[in-house]
Structure 1
Amino acid sequence: MTNLVQFAGLILLSLAPASLGTSPHPLANKSTPQIIAYYRYPVEVHQVTTEDGYILELHRIPHGIKEPQTSRHPRPPILLQHCLLCSSAEFVMNTPDKALAYLLADSGYDVWMGNVRGNTYSKNHVSLSPSQKEFWQFSWAEMGYYDLPAIIDYVLNTTQAEDLYYVGFSMGTTIFWAMMNDRPEYNQKVHVMVGLGPVAYVGNAKGPLARASSQVDLIERVAKFFGKYEFLSFGFLMDKFLSFACDERVFTSALCRNMLFQMTGSNRKQLNEEFLPVFLTNTPAGTSVLTVTHYLQEIRSGNFQKYDYGEKLNIQNYNSKYPPKYNLSKVVVPVALFSSENDWLAAPKDVEHLRLELPNVVYHRVVEDPMFTHLDFVWAKDADELVYKYVLGFLKFF
């Protein structure tokens, strides 16, 4: 199957330029820093090492293009944290008048974008290689315990700020709740938290992940048997293939649209087809198999809990037959939630469950578009009007 996809990609690469007369979107196959530089925003690349040795890459837009770098006006730092199988690119894959990172930079914020262990930008370690099984022995629980605290500390140390604003999307919210459970002292380092498509409980999720949850034990055994520990990290050839196949001027773009709809729900009206090649050459950005199976376990159990290794290893790791549940009452920082009725991954019932358990939800907005899906929070054509203007208003109020 892999060889067939590669062969099809080579054919398409050889034919597409002649048939289209032009290249695909100029940002297809570009990295996050390259995308930012394309729009002439200042960009910095930083690296931070976690307590357990993972080297994470951070991307920064220190100021907007409307404000000179020499300005003495203080810019509060804000950290944007991406979703499952995503990267920092999710916040810059649109024009500057619509993408969240640029809007925040032009509104006076010092914008930082994190990348968790195992994605495109964070596949280095002080002693391990991604070719080793040991490198991939983590789920989002470790991202909450190690990655997010390391990122927050680095941003605060670099900016000399007392605290920062935080915007998490999907898994970016999951690891935030997990961090506050394990390291509640970080409540003092976050001024306010914004959750887009917030995910803790996923028992009412729909789509392929929900259907796969009943087979999570089999998936874990098969992955272990075949020695597969990394999940969905596309290489150069596949990215090139997608940049042409998903171009809005090519008939195969319909397949790309349908692939997205199958994963996250359908909202054709909000699909930004012009940027489709950019989306799909940056996403999926890869993660560990355990990160995905951790979510599958939670869909099956209906609980928000740590990784279930099985009775024997649970006793070894947790001194209990069962994985401990996360305590959301420890998240005392002010929280704003943005959810939608057509979100397959952050389903309304699960978001309400989360809202009721968080002790300091100060704002909750349901997106007005009834068809708004999970990925629309970062990919929708009108996310600026439907979501971001309210995010900016909330942040300004606080």
Structure 2
Amino acid sequence: MKNLAGLILLAAASLGISPHPLANKRTPQIIAYYGYPVEVHLVTTEDGYILELHRIPHGIKEPQNSTSPRPPILLQHCLLCSSAEFVMNTPDKALAYLLADSGYDVWMGNVRGNTYSKNHVSLSPRQKEFWQFSWAEMGYYDLPAIIDYVLDKTQAEDLYYVGFSMGTTIFWAMMNDRPEYNQKVRCMVGMGPVAYVGNAKGPLARASSQVVLIESLANFFGRYEFLSFGVLMDKVMGFACDERVFTSALCRNILFRMTGSNEKQLNKEFLPVFLTNTPAGTSVWTVTHYLQEIKSGNFQRYDYGEELNQQKYNSKYPPKYDLSKVVVPVALFSSENDWLAAPKDVEQLRLELPNVVYHKVVADPMFTHLDFVWAKDADQLVYKHVLKILAIF
């Protein structure tokens, strides 16, 4: 694999093709490239994981010493993603910049195990114990720690929250376990919202029937981290997925196989940027937790098997999450062609949430799951409506 990667990079150099200027750039570098102010903050959870947050404290036109109040807003990424999802487009298109220029103090979280949050007070990512978590722990530990940190730094009483995909899952889980956090969130916006996934399509759905085998193989081979490519592979992707190179068609096809096809909304220019930042890695358990839910049709805690479930939950079966505890105002944005937040599952979620104040189905019938953060027209199809909803609260 390393030899093949080296040959691809050598070919790129011989052809004189340089990658996109933002390919292989980290979130703070992407933000700074467009001239926005950027800050990096570290948060330690109760169980010792060190999370990296990225902040755009104000818009590009506002003076740095401005004293005008700016309400904090937290953006939380999807499965296998990072804070980069919200800045990988031009400032007139990407959500983080639009919010900053609209008067918000923008914070972007990174949960345990992704590119930016691979540190712990005592554990190393080389240890099995580091990776023994799923999105359940992200909801119980990571999100509360991030919210408390943001409120402490800004001295605000509450914040706005925008979650995408898994960013919504961990929000529902947090409110089940720590309902007092309803008082710390003014309004929640869920894009591609995920709780139930029984109607999901694509590779994840097909893999769900083999979830026990997948867990067993991962343990047998000692693989506890899932899909983190590393620096060399990211460099290869930065070249191979460039629209000027014939292999970019392969990148597009792989992407469409995973999330569904919407060719007209694919921002081909930014494809190398997308695929050198995503996937950002997570634990095997985070993925298998979703596979368990696809198989069971329930929104529930991690299933460790009957024996361990009895020890952890005092029950043979994992307890279900109670969505009625999410009393904060919720606005949902979904799409008909979303393979991971399928319309039937979103409708079940909507019916069980007690305070849904708005639900919009994206006008483009081909809009896919990743289009919520990557689509060329996400600003018009989604974000302008998000800004209107936020302005009400």
Common fold: TM-score over 0.5: yes
Displacement of 1:8: 2.2
1:8 paired with 2:15, answer no
What secondary structure, in the 3-state scheme, does the structure 2 residue paired with 1:363 have?
strand
1:18 paired with 2:14, answer yes
1:124 paired with 2:114, answer no
* TM-score, length basis structure 1: 0.98
Task: Find the counterpart in structure 2 of residue 135 from structure 1.
Answer: 130
Q: Deviations over 1:140-180 (max 9, x none)?
A: 00000000000000000000000000000000000000000
1:244 paired with 2:208, answer no
Distance across 2 between alignment mates of 1:138 and 1:45: 24
Distance across 2 between alignment mates of 1:140 and 1:282: 20
Distance across 2 between alignment mates of 1:259 and 1:7: 22
Displacement of 1:17: 2.9
The residue type paired with residue 197 of structure 1 is: G
**Residue correspondence of structure 1 range 66-77 to structure 2 within 5 A:** 66-77=61-72
1:188 paired with 2:183, answer yes
Poorly superposed stretches of 4+, deviation over 6 Å:
none
What secondary structure, in the 3-state scheme, does the structure 1 residue paired with 2:150 have?
helix
1:62 paired with 2:62, answer no
What secondary structure, in the 3-state scheme, does the structure 1 residue paired with 2:22 have?
coil
1:86 paired with 2:97, answer no
1:170 paired with 2:162, answer no
What secondary structure, in the 3-state scheme, does the structure 1 residue paired with 2:161 have?
strand
Task: Find the counterpart in structure 2 of residue 366 from structure 1.
Answer: 361
1:150 paired with 2:145, answer yes
1:198 paired with 2:201, answer no
The residue type paired with residue 42 of structure 1 is: P
1:390 paired with 2:385, answer yes
The residue type paired with residue 72 of structure 1 is: T
The residue type paired with residue 8 of structure 1 is: L
Task: Find the counterpart in structure 1 of residue 205 from structure 2.
Answer: 210
Distance across 2 between alignment mates of 1:40 and 1:9: 33
Displacement of 1:18: 2.8
Distance across 2 between alignment mates of 1:27 and 1:105: 20
Identity %: 86
The residue type paired with residue 241 of structure 2 is: C
Distance across 2 between alignment mates of 1:376 and 1:347: 14
Displacement of 1:207: 0.1
Displacement of 1:15: 1.2
Task: Find the counterpart in structure 2 of residue 179 from structure 1.
Answer: 174
Distance across 2 between alignment mates of 1:17 and 1:205: 41
Unpaired segments ≥5 residues, structure 2: none
Task: Find the counterpart in structure 1 of residue 303 from structure 2.
Answer: 308
Displacement of 1:331: 0.1
1:327 paired with 2:300, answer no
Aligned length: 393
Distance across 1 between alignment mates of 2:365 and 2:19: 32
The residue type paired with residue 166 of structure 1 is: Y
Displacement of 1:66: 1.2
Distance across 2 between alignment mates of 1:87 and 1:235: 14
* TM-score, length basis structure 2: 0.99
Distance across 2 between alignment mates of 1:188 and 1:397: 17
The residue type paired with residue 230 of structure 1 is: E
1:234 paired with 2:229, answer yes
Distance across 1 between alignment mates of 2:383 and 2:61: 19
Displacement of 1:301: 0.2
What secondary structure, in the 3-state scheme, does the structure 2 residue paired with 1:362 have?
strand
Displacement of 1:270: 0.2
What secondary structure, in the 3-state scheme, does the structure 1 residue paired with 2:73 have?
strand
Distance across 2 between alignment mates of 1:336 and 1:346: 15
Distance across 2 between alignment mates of 1:346 and 1:106: 29
Displacement of 1:298: 0.1
Unpaired segments ≥5 residues, structure 1: none
Distance across 2 between alignment mates of 1:265 and 1:17: 33
